[in-house]
Chains A and B, each alone.
Chain A
Amino acid sequence: MTRTLPRSFSLACLVSLALLALPAVATAPLKPAKAAPEPVFNRLHDYQEISEMLHGYAAAFPEWVSLESIGKSGEGRDIWVVTLTNPKTGDALSKPGIYIDGNTHANEVQGGESTIYTLDFLLKNYGTLERVTELVDRLTFYFLPMVNPDGRHRWFHQPATANFPRTVVVPIDDDRDGLADEDGYDNLDGDGETTPEESNAFDDLLTLGRQQVEWKEVDHPQYGKIEVGGNRHDVGRVPEGWMLNEEVHRNSLFVLHHAYHLPRLSFGEPVVR
């Protein structure tokens, strides 16, 4: 005689049996071996600051976080990757992985901030938030906050103009003098350095409007007294510093929602005949 499984069988088992898939581990908040970085997301961080943060996380949580450079950029900067998983639930390579990166486009620097925020959020809420604990136990997270470190460095430390690189920075002989990258498009006097005046003059030439804006205080209806000004850097859809926290939190939860819905498998009751 044959026996068939009732269709409702699987649904009835879902909640109870799925929880058995993971080995039981004590879940207490992580205690850093040394002081963990305390990033503040009301401003953007440049390549150097983020690199120091990543080293700080790896030193504070040496068993959980590993840091490696997967290569060098064109200008010799390390491309850092952070791996996060719970070592007690298995080796990193034995678990499903989720890869999170940011700042592929040179001028979209807030992607790197979102990536760092996600790493920080997971580490500091493990053992406190149920979903975070489950994710870190079940998955391996790979973070690559700065896919384009040279572009990030230039975004922070050079004026934003129409010639600001959006792609990976490669040496270009833009003025056809036989030398590559010895001066930028807007280095008008050819001395190798671009001053704000030169940048503004170049922007005027292209009728793009001035990128250098005087700092001034503004009374914002929601955020109160805020300062607006500096290099506009508005080409890459980057939020103002005082809006950054909301954006990185939203981006982070969007990514974690996908991580949460990665398949979680378990066996139901076998039927042997």
Chain B
Amino acid sequence: MDRDLWRVHLPVLNDRGIPSVTACARENKIHRMDLATVAGAKVIACGIVNDPWLDQVDLQEHRPQRLEVGGVGGYDTEILFFLIEGKGEITVSYDSLKGGKIATTFKLEEMAP
């Protein structure tokens, strides 16, 4: 977006039928939500993309370095949004109690359209 300021859309996929956080767990606060964290750069803002066509993002109000995700539905996708300041490689980790831990590393550089 500007020098060393990047907007990242990162999809998290669930290819199985049970959501990573159930509605029951969310409503009754049975356990913590899924957490996404970024290593290697500073996170200015984060949120969940609720409509990629209209580019609508539900921004998280506090603690952008730790994005709280209300789960990925069964056979569904959530697109994580990060506004990141930095350069080089970053690692995004996603930690879910039911879905396990995954991580991905990629470069902050302009991608081909």
Q: Write the B70-113 contact mask toward A (1 if CB under 8 angstroms, else 0).
A: 00101001010000000000001010111111101011111101
Assess A261 versus B49: contact at CB under 8 Å? Given A10-B11, A270-B9, A270-B104. Answer: no
> CB distance A7 to B7 under 8 Å?
no
How many of chain A's residues have a CB under 8 angstroms from any CB in B? 34
Q: Is B18 a contact partner of A13 (Cβ separation < 8 A)?
A: no
**Which partner residue on chain A sits nearest B14 by CB separation?**
A263
Contact between B113 and A10 (Cβ–Cβ < 8 Å)?
A: no
Interchain CB contact under 8 A, B55 and A265: no
For residues 53 through 73 of chain A, which have their beta carbon under 8 Å from a beta carbon of chain B?
A: none
Instruction: Say yes or no: B77 contacts A265, CB within 8 Å.
Output: no
Residues of chain A within 8 A of B92, CB atoms compared: 267, 270
Q: Is A172 an interface residue (CB 8 A)?
A: no
In the complex, which of the residues A7, A15, A265, A271 contacts B20, with contact meaning CB atoms closer than 8 Å? A265
Q: Which residue of chain B lies nearest to A21 when distances are taken between CB atoms in the complex?
A: B102
Whole-angstrom CA separation of A28 from B12 in the bound complex? 30
Q: Which of A246-273 contact B (CB under 8 A)?
A: 258, 260-273
A residues near B110, Cβ cutoff 8 Å: 272-273
Partner of A262, one of B9, B18, B104: B18
Min Cβ gap B20→A in Å is 4
Does residue A138 face the partner (Cβ distance < 8 Å to B)? yes
Given A3-B113, A7-B52, is A267 in contact with B104 using a C-beta cutoff of 8 Å?
yes
Quick check: is A180 within 8 A (CB to CB) of the other chain?
no
Q: Find chain B residues with CB under 8 A from A265 CB.
A: 12-14, 20, 72, 94, 96, 99-100, 102
Which residues from chain B contact A261 at a C-beta distance below 8 Å? Answer: 16-18, 74
Find out whether the CB atom of B99 lies under 8 angstroms from the CB atom of A96: yes
Once bound together, how far apart are the Cα atoms of A129 and B53, in whole Å? Answer: 41
Task: Check B30 for interface membership: any CB of A closer than 8 A.
Answer: no
Expressed in whole angstroms, the Cα–Cα distance for A10 and B72 within the complex equals: 12
- Tell me the bound Cα distance from A261 to B59 in angstroms: 30
Residue B44 at the chain A interface, CB threshold 8 Å: no
Contacts of B109 in A (CB 8 A): 272
Query: CB distance B16 to A94 under 8 Å?
Result: no
Instruction: Check: A179 CB closer than 8 A to any chain B CB.
Output: no
A170 contacts B by Cβ under 8 Å: no
Contacts A96-B98, A264-B99, A265-B72; is A272 near B8 (CB within 8 Å)?
yes
| B51, closest chain A residue (CB) | A4
Flag A176-203 by CB within 8 Å of B: 1 or 0 each. 0000000000000000000000000000
Q: Please judge, given known A-B contacts A5-B52, A17-B13, whether A263 and B72 are in contact too, CB under 8 Å.
A: yes
**A88 adjacent to chain B (CB < 8 Å):** no
B residues engaging A (CB < 8 A)? Answer: 1, 6-20, 49, 52-55, 72, 74, 77, 79, 92, 94, 96-102, 104, 106-111, 113
Q: Which 9 A-B pairs have the closest CB atoms?
A: A268-B11, A10-B77, A263-B99, A261-B17, A263-B20, A265-B99, A5-B52, A267-B104, A271-B9
Given A15-B15, A267-B13, A267-B104, 15 extra CB contacts under 8 A: A4-B55, A5-B9, A9-B11, A94-B101, A96-B98, A263-B16, A263-B18, A263-B98, A264-B100, A265-B96, A266-B12, A267-B92, A269-B11, A272-B106, A273-B6
